[in-house]
Amino acid sequence: MSTDPHKTPYTPSALEFKSSTFSVPVLVLTSDDLIAVEQQLQDKIGLAPEFFRNSPLIIDLQEINKKGYDIDVAELTEVLRNSGLLPIGIRGGNVQQNEQALDLLIPVYSIHNVGASAETQERKTITPAPEPETDAADNISTTLITQPVRSGQRVYSSGDLIILAQVSAGAEIMAEGNIHVYSTLRGRALAGVQGDTEARIFCSDLQAELISIAGNYKISEDLDETVRKKPVQIYLQNHTLIIKDIV
């Protein structure tokens, strides 16, 4: 007695359009040297491979075009896809680049309608939803999290990251700036993921699986017993991670 939609007089609606805002990382290109682009991309991805795997991405060509360089969008897309990224849009391109993008079924966005960035400026309180923040240089915001970050969850902040609850083993927290955890840190914490060597990690109970600042990391095994389960700050000095009590 399965229902056949062609026979029933009343057909329930099968779809609905809704408007939603998503945060998607934007890749701002500053060089037309695809080899260099690929190399540097690999370096960045190496810092947080899980985070970038199959990540959607908007390509921003504004800087390149300002400098009068040109780039082959098809080749660029190829490089990105080979690196495991999924370009879902392009902005700041010229007519020819936009056409090339559309041929590749990549939508073209205007630089002005990068919606809602004014609203997202304000400080956010979110439950852990592992969505990347918009990576506009003028929109460096602090992300505040009040719920535990559980095993399997990931949080990324394009600015500082403040967490008022525990971070479980098997969770991963990442920030381009500093990380503060006002509870037990058991998962993986990566600060300065875009290379900021000044970034620091603070936590009130260090039991992390991994800590990293700008790619310099220590795993749980390497943690000294004198700092384990202590409130500490972690920073970089001459490419070495320093872990110090905060009293």
Partner 1 sequence: MARIIVVTSGKGGVGKTTTSAAIAMGLAKKGHKTAVIDFDVGLRNLDLIMGCERRVVYDFVNVINGEASLNQALIRDKNCNQLYILPASQTRDKDALNQEGVGKILDELKKDFKYIVCDSPAGIEKGAHLAMYFADDAFVVTNPEVSSVRDSDRMLGILASKSRRAEQNEEPIKEYLLLSRYSPDRVRLGEMLSVDDVQEILSLHLLGVIPESKSVLNASNSGMPIILDEKSDAGQAYADIVARYLGEDKPHRFIEDKKGFFGKLFGSK
Residues of this chain that bind partner 1 (CB under 8 A):
1-3, 127-129, 147-153, 165-166, 168-171, 186
Phi and psi at residue 31, to the nearest 5°: -135, 150
> What is the length of the chain?
247
Please say which residue, 3 or 113, places its beta carbon nearer to partner 1: 3
The answer to whether 114 and 134 are in contact (CB under 8 A) is: yes
Minimum CB separation of residue 201 from partner 1 in Å reads 21
Tokens of 181: 């955890």
Please say which residue, 139 or 147, places its beta carbon nearer to partner 1: 147
> With left for phi above 0 and alpha for psi between -120 and 50, is residue 105 left, alpha or beta?
left
Minimum CB separation of residue 182 from partner 1 in Å reads 13
Question: What span, in angstroms and rounded, lies between the C-alpha atoms of 125 and 110?
Answer: 29
* 220 to 51, 169, 208, 216: CA distances (angstroms): 20, 11, 6, 14
Minimum CB separation of residue 149 from partner 1 in Å reads 7
Please say which residue, 168 or 204, places its beta carbon nearer to partner 1: 168
Minimum CB separation of residue 53 from partner 1 in Å reads 18
Please say which residue, 39 or 146, places its beta carbon nearer to partner 1: 146
